Structure 1
Amino acid sequence: MQFTSTPRGARLARRLVSYRLSDWAHPYASAVNETVTLIAAELTANAVRHGHVPGRDFRLSLSATETTVRIEVSDTRTERVPLLSAQEPPGDAESGRGLLLVSRLASRWAVAPREAAPGKTVWAELDVAQSG
């Protein structure tokens, strides 16, 4: 789905992820739902804060197999690619922990160029068996 690149768009995307996971037999209070929803919150917030291009939306894709849930968040900002080696920010920093959380919660995550469009896709996967 496509969302406006605003805090409201990020909030709606996060809610959609939680709702869809519940439909897919991962109830709201389950570890899978809570973990993937938190990952979605971080990735969509980053798309709004760091990937925003005026007049452009971000896209979210959610898919699942019996063993894995995958979330992809794409924005149109090509030049701002997150580092895969997320490091702990200084203790008094007010931001900079989002991708650190993603790296610790997700089984795998990475950044890839967006296919057939400018920008990038940040994706994360959660192995369902690990978080059950």
Structure 2
Amino acid sequence: MSDVNRETVEPPAELAHPTLAFMVLLSPTRRGARLARLLATEQLRTWGILTDAATHVIAELAANAATHGRVPGRNFRLALNVVGDTLRVEVTDTRRERLPEAQLPGEESESGRGLVIVEAVADRWGVSSDAVPRKTVWAEITVPVSD
């Protein structure tokens, strides 16, 4: 076999770091939302990613899934994926008909600011629906990745 067609190619910069992934199913309760934040924070720490923005995004999206996406007997899923310097946080619940909006609530309201916080600290966020009755709220954050 000839070596004429072989060449060494450097991987693209966005693939210089390995892809990292974490996923967990949790009960749609306050306890499940708190556990999502704690588990995700520890996983990010293990990966060498320390960012308050990620902690806020995870806490808000998990709380929303437990509060607004709750269906008795159905869990919500938290997924973290890191590719290059981008952390993608995804929270999937089974209430596809309840799509979130980032808007400030009235002055007297005690809740409803979560997605405004997500919008402020994330680089991008959005919602995707699936054929199965579920939705995924996702946010992406640029993070420093240690070698």
With the shorter chain as reference, the TM-score category is 0.7 to 0.9
Identity of aligned residues (%): 50
Which structure has the larger Rg? 2
User: Moved runs in structure 1, 4+ residues, more than 6 A?
Assistant: none
Amino acid at match of 2:132: A
Q: Which residue of 1 aligns with 2:94?
A: 76
Q: Which of 106, 111, 127 does residue 122 from structure 2 map onto?
A: 106
Residue 29 of structure 2 is aligned to residue 6 of structure 1: yes
Q: Which runs of 5+ in 2 are unaligned?
A: 1-23
Q: How does 1:32-111 map to 2 (within 5 A)?
A: 32=51, 34-83=52-101, 86-111=102-127
Aligned residue type for 1:121 = T
Structure having the larger proportion of residues in helix: 1
Shift of 1:118: 1.8
Query: 1:117 is matched with which residue: 84, 108, 132?
Result: 132
**Residue type of the alignment partner of 2:106:** P
Aligned pair count?
Answer: 121
Q: Alignment partner of 1:2: what SS?
A: strand
How far is the alpha carbon of 1:54 from its aligned partner?
0.7
Deviations 1:98-125 (A, max 9, x none): 00000001000000013x6321000000
Q: Structure 1: how far apart are the matches of 2:97 and 2:132?
A: 14
Deviations 1:49-86 (A, max 9, x none): 10001110000100112311110000001110112xx2
Aligned-residue CA RMSD in angstroms?
A: 1.2
**116-125 vs 93-102, greater mean Cα deviation:** 116-125
2:115 is matched by which residue type in structure 1? L
- Match status 1:22 vs 2:66: no
AA matched with 1:119: R
Q: Unaligned stretches of 5+ in structure 1?
A: none
Q: 2:141 aligns with which of 101, 126, 131?
A: 126
Helix, strand or coil at the partner of 2:77: strand
Cα distance between partner residues in 1 of 2:56 and 2:79: 15
